[in-house]
Structure 1
């Protein structure tokens, strides 16, 4: 019989890893909480193309395609804010590319786990159009149980 402890990390190592993981990622429920309460220093960036953004995006998200991020365009962002990047979902690495560019430029950033796909799966609102708009006043949400 195999010793299962060989396949589990030391609790101290696990705690350090999991704490670090939480500093890099945010899930849809936690982000929805930030968006719903319009947290002033949490800026959500939809890093997809303007066309995809206009078809549906997270309320309050600003469209800033990762392909347009560079030293000059990133100057419009505040170093005092915290940024969350997202794209379509786990099959897309646009949010990672955007987050990397932000981090390399000195910004605090997290990625949305599962992107817009997981956001939709959790029944959070989507808004169409080319403007960020605000969180809807009436939202019928189901608690995830976390």
Structure 2
């Protein structure tokens, strides 16, 4: 008896269809490494990085140069001053958060070109990339020996 592999339960796409799908996926996603390379090289032109979480989350840690535009606050009025010729790279907390997707969807619905940063600020910090903070970090109390 031959057991079929689960991986092939759904057959792979033909190469042209797969290439089109993957190209579309890359048109929407930005890798943290590509973004940090742009920031480091000073080649961040043509796009703006957008933190889509709350102002408090933005203050605690955000990507250098990012603007804070919480997805819940996006309205035609609140985005009226944004440059429609730029691409807006939205990010949020992590792969477990969809604020970047909600923000990108709202911006796209309002006529803006958008992308999402893969993994959000969590992936960014896990890679040890720089962050800016508007509020000081509260350090944990020093351990105390009780022996």
Length-normalised TM-score, structure 1: 0.83
Aligned-pair Cα RMSD in Å: 1.7
Higher Rg: 2
**C-alpha displacement of 1:123:** 1.4
Matches within 5 A, 1:1-146: 1=2, 2=4, 4=8, 7-36=11-40, 37-129=42-134
Using the alignment, how far apart are the partners of 1:10 and 1:80 within structure 2? 35
Q: Which runs of 5+ in 1 are unaligned?
A: 131-146
Which 4+ stretches in 1 moved above 6 angstroms? none
Using the alignment, how far apart are the partners of 2:12 and 2:123 within structure 1? 28
Using the alignment, how far apart are the partners of 1:5 and 1:116 within structure 2? 35
**C-alpha displacement of 1:38:** 4.5
Q: How many residues align?
A: 130
**C-alpha displacement of 1:74:** 1.2
Q: Which runs of 5+ in 2 are unaligned?
A: 136-147
